[in-house]
Amino acid sequence: MNPAWLALPVAAVFALPWVLDFLRSSWLPLAVTVVTLAVLLGAAVVVVRRLGASYRREALMRAGLDQLDPKRFEELTAELLRRDGFRKVRVVGGSGDRGIDVLGVAPDGSPYAVQCKYYTRPLGPGGVRDFVGALHAAPYKDHQGVLVTSNYLSTQAADTAREQDLIVIDQDRLADWLLGVYRLGPGRSSMPWLARLRRGRTPAVETP
């Protein structure tokens, strides 16, 4: 063992009284500083979250979300896909669509199948299971499933979506998508830390 290492515990023993004296004389300023920083950080988080909620409400209002119908909601989704660089985007919802509403090809060539749920209430697990069943059909087996809803998912529905590796875009994430904070496809979340901070609400499902 290198004798130099023995100097460390010896120095620590001699330095301990000075350290204790410093802490006794400085604990109050240190405590005040720590508490002040914690309060400021907490206040900043609250402000950012409130601003995020305000931005989301404004984005949804500009998109006229409460005035859409299911067909126009599908068209809005298709428009956002095109903005994110998707090719061959087409709305296929209707009779015989097997539950798939929008199809598109991501910039990296991956095919995506999207189901749009324009709901005024949270989406339950039955709707998620139906979408998973549609993705198992021959035309869509190699497609990444994306569930877009104008509302939120119930806890059970969120668990089902997570188990099936679905990408879920609920009302909060839809607002971020409209704002350009969230992007679908490769490198889809351009500022994930900011999106999480601004969300103020834990999303039911994270993207896989």
Question: Of 9 and 182, which is predicted with more confidence?
Answer: 182
Average pLDDT over all residues of the chain: 79
Residue 153 DSSP symbol: B
Mean pLDDT of 67-76: 93
144, pLDDT greater than 90: yes
What separation in angstroms does the CA of 97 have from each of 160, 168, 170?
22, 20, 22
Q: Report the distance separating Cα 134 and Cα 113, nearest Å.
A: 10
How much is the pLDDT for 61? 83
Residue 93 half-sphere exposure toward CB, CA atoms < 13 A: 19
Residue type, 67: Q
What gap in Å lies between CA 74 and CA 118, rounded to an integer?
9
The per-residue pLDDT for 173 is 92
CATH entry 3.40.1350.10 includes domain 1-208:
yes
Of the chain, the percentage scoring pLDDT greater than 70 comes to 64
Q: CA geometry: angle at 16 spanning 11 and 21, to 5°?
A: 140
Residue 51 has pLDDT above 80, yes or no: no
Global pTM reads 0.69
Calpha distance 199→179 (Å, rounded): 13
> Among 3-12, 46-55, 97-106, which range has the highest average pLDDT?
97-106
